[in-house]
Amino acid sequence: MFIIVSVVLTVVSFVLDRRKTIMGMKKGLNMFRNIAVPFLNILILVSLVLYIVPPSLIVKYLGAGSGFWGLAIAALVGSITLIPGFISYPIASVLIKQGASYTTVATFMTTLMMVGVVTLPLEIKYFGRNVAILRNVLNFITAIVIGVFVGLFL
C-alpha cells in the first residue's frame, strides 16, 4: 500500500513540477546511497556477533531471568552505541528471537534513541554542560522505566 501511495504522489508531483520532482528524486537517491553502506555494514557486523554469540548467552545476560544486570547491560550498551533508529529495529527483532526479554530490548532501544554518551561532547558544546548531562541522566532513568513498563505489559 505504501509503495502505491508513494508512486501516485510522485506522479502527481511530477505533473505539478517536473524540475522539483526530479531534484527531489536525486536528493532521495543520494540519501539512500549514503545510508545503504553504513546500514549494510552494521547489519553484517550485528549478524556476525549474533551468530558467534550463542543464544544461551543472550538468554543468560539479556533474558527474562537476567534481572537487574540484564537491564543494566541493555541500558549501558544502548547509551554508548551510536546506531541509527532504522537499523536498531531489525537488531531488536533478532535479539527477541534469540531469547532476550522485552524489558531489556525495550531498554536498549530507548537508551539508544534517547541517551547519547558518544555525542555528549557535541551536545555540551551546543547546550552547555549542565543541560546536556541532565538531559542524558533523566533520559537514562526514563528509558529504564519505559523498559520495565514494556516488560510488564508484554
The pLDDT tens digits for 43-83 are 788 778 778 878 788 878 888 888 889 999 999 999 998 78
Q: Is the pLDDT of residue 34 over 80?
A: yes
Same domain, 1 and 69: no
Residues 6+ apart with CB under 8 A from 83: 42, 91, 112
Q: In percent, how much of the chain has pLDDT > 90? A: 55
Same domain, 1 and 44: yes
Same domain, 101 and 139: yes
Can you say whether the dihedral through the CA atoms of 100, 102, 108, 112 is positive or negative?
Answer: positive
Q: Which residue shows C-alpha cell 541509527?
A: 84
Q: Is the pLDDT of residue 42 over 80?
A: no
Residues 19, 23, 28: CA angle, nearest 5 degrees: 150
Q: Which domain holds residue 142?
A: 55-154
Cα–Cα dist 143/104, whole Å: 10
Same domain, 16 and 37: yes
Cell numbers standing for residue 121: 561532547
Is residue 25 within 8 Å of residue 66, measured between CB atoms?
no
Q: Is the pLDDT of residue 1 over 90?
A: no
The helix-helix angle for 120-127 and 129-153 (nearest 10°) equals 130
Is residue 119 within 8 Å of residue 82, measured between CB atoms?
yes
The pLDDT tens digits for 102-151 are 999 999 999 999 998 988 998 999 999 999 999 999 999 999 999 999 99
Cα–Cα dist 42/136, whole Å: 24
- What local confidence, expressed as pLDDT, does residue 50 receive? 75
Same domain, 42 and 67: no
One-letter amino acid for residue 115 of the chain: V
Q: What is the pTM of this model?
A: 0.72
Same domain, 18 and 60: no
Tally of domains within the chain: 2
Same domain, 85 and 121: yes
